[in-house]
Structure 1
């Protein structure tokens, strides 16, 4: 049966190839190439600017607003860091979920992407400061990575901006469920996600750290994980922490057989009661490629069905 299917497929491909060949001699049509084309989704994709009054850093906030009815408690919310890069992809995923609403009754989240008012996808200088935890003394460099020349240590300021400036604006203008919030960050953004989880676990219900920079400042985040462990004893925290890493991020040497940084961190937290912790390997993905499959997984944390009553 499999051979037969392959034969039919081959004949179909041959037919398409021949039809393309016969028409290949036609003169190409004249077209007008447009630039700066709008993102699919029309009015569902919205944006505004917001400024952190503490350090006057400007942010571009992009929001996907669902059309399907909101659950009684409001839409779940997915906050994405590196919004310039993440939002177009996330918006299309949200629209795909919404397209299947009549069949699956899945409600897409309100997507809130936190970026910067720039033309590029990544603002290296700004994110380096915003996403890295506070520290004292000198930063400890990693032997395999060049120490960044940009200022670092602004994670607490950035966290306070999200809580005190951004979230109130979102709650005012969108029907959201403040008990169904997910924070997603990749690389330094994943480090910020872990920092927020360990220091302000009440801020979100779900956390997704994709390819987090656990190595930063000589693995300082592991000390925060241990402190969190101690503080969580005899508590049931009822939180979700998922982490992922690209398969090709590991070096091709004997170290590849050792547990990854995220696996080691997950093992460190395995005894925290009420913590749903999972790790994922993104097959055949480099560090930057692994961001987008991880966003797919983050949407799984936001799934919500409308109330039946």
Structure 2
């Protein structure tokens, strides 16, 4: 058995150690220089350029992640992201994470093309309101639970033509991409644009991810388009993927003012499209996130789609 003297010495030593630890904890913090405007991780893999839409002189900031690992024989898959200022930093890190594990699992990250605006913040509300909302005739029907927007709307077809006629040719010229493995991602109004593109120009992309889409816009006009689309393609095999997502917390907020037994907007829309042959339509509820937060985990869905359908080169 240890002696009482040993216990006394141990207690003295332990007390001194606690005092020293306390003094370290409460010491003045080390002086540091806080840097601002730090670069995004990824260095030369993160690239950018500017484009202008001639019809209204709208300027766009295009940010691109370019993989370092070898391209598949058919080229890299490519993911186009709307609201690029907010989406690109997150998407770039995901792509780098996929690339980090390349030697182990041979997964190749996509080329990421984020379409944003030349602003300091994350969301250009005025510009996206026009670019992402479909054309309409007559008077725009405002949703009773949404405030009326003070900004012009209805520019989705112009924005679609910008992507097809201006942006895609530049990407094809400078990056080795697979034209048969292209994904379009949009959130909120961007999700509405994604649905508009799918329903009006389904041949433009192979995969579509509409996150928290503003299906309510213009008195749910996109649902009417979905019904027409189903009738148009009910005898055809389209071989497309459409995934729709919504945040759990934004969904709870919506059902507070509606019948709790009523299916969510995305489920109702998916149900209208479920009988189209060759269409992989799925809905996802993302746990414990609000409307804006739901953008980021939904980007993961776009990356999952980009992983499928190709084989990395040896």
Instruction: Give me the CA root mean square deviation.
Output: 1.5
* Alpha-carbon shift at residue 306 of structure 1 (Å): 3.7
* Alpha-carbon shift at residue 88 of structure 1 (Å): 0.3
Q: Deviations for 1:14-63, whole angstroms, at most 9, x for unmatched residues?
A: xxxx8975631232111000000000000000000000111110000000
- Give the TM-score taking structure 2 as reference length: 0.90
For 1:22 and 1:178, locate their aligned partners in 2 and report how far apart those are by CA, in whole Å. Answer: 63
Change beyond 3 A, Cα 1:119–1:308: closer
User: Aligned with 1:90: secondary structure?
Assistant: helix
Change beyond 3 A, Cα 1:20–1:177: farther
Give the conservation status (yes or no) of the 8 Å contact 1:187–1:212: yes
Q: 2:263 aligns with which of 259, 263, 272?
A: 259
Change beyond 3 A, Cα 1:239–1:31: same
Q: Residue in 1 aligned with 2:213?
A: 212
Give the conservation status (yes or no) of the 8 Å contact 2:106–2:312: no
Give the conservation status (yes or no) of the 8 Å contact 2:71–2:313: no
Q: 1:269 aligns with which of 269, 273, 279?
A: 273
Q: Residue in 2 aligned with 1:238?
A: 239
Change beyond 3 A, Cα 1:306–1:69: farther
Q: Residue in 2 aligned with 1:15?
A: none
Matches within 5 A, 1:188-199: 188-199=189-200
- Give the TM-score taking structure 1 as reference length: 0.92
Q: Residue in 2 aligned with 1:297?
A: 301
For 2:56 and 2:240, locate their aligned partners in 1 and report how far apart those are by CA, in whole Å. Answer: 31
Q: Residue in 1 aligned with 2:70?
A: 69
For 2:264 and 2:190, locate their aligned partners in 1 and report how far apart those are by CA, in whole Å. Answer: 18
Q: Residue in 2 aligned with 1:30?
A: 31
Give the conservation status (yes or no) of the 8 Å contact 1:244–1:281: yes
User: Aligned with 2:277: secondary structure?
Assistant: coil
Q: Deviations for 1:83-116, whole angstroms, at most 9, x for unmatched residues?
A: 0000000000000000000111100000000000
For 1:208 and 1:49, locate their aligned partners in 2 and report how far apart those are by CA, in whole Å. Answer: 25
For 2:122 and 2:52, locate their aligned partners in 1 and report how far apart those are by CA, in whole Å. Answer: 19
Q: Residue in 2 aligned with 1:285?
A: 289
Change beyond 3 A, Cα 1:50–1:20: farther
Query: What is the number of residues matched between the two proteins?
Result: 292
User: Aligned with 1:234: secondary structure?
Assistant: coil
For 1:158 and 1:20, locate their aligned partners in 2 and report how far apart those are by CA, in whole Å. Answer: 61
Give the conservation status (yes or no) of the 8 Å contact 1:131–1:154: yes
Q: Residue in 1 aligned with 2:203?
A: 202
Change beyond 3 A, Cα 1:167–1:308: closer
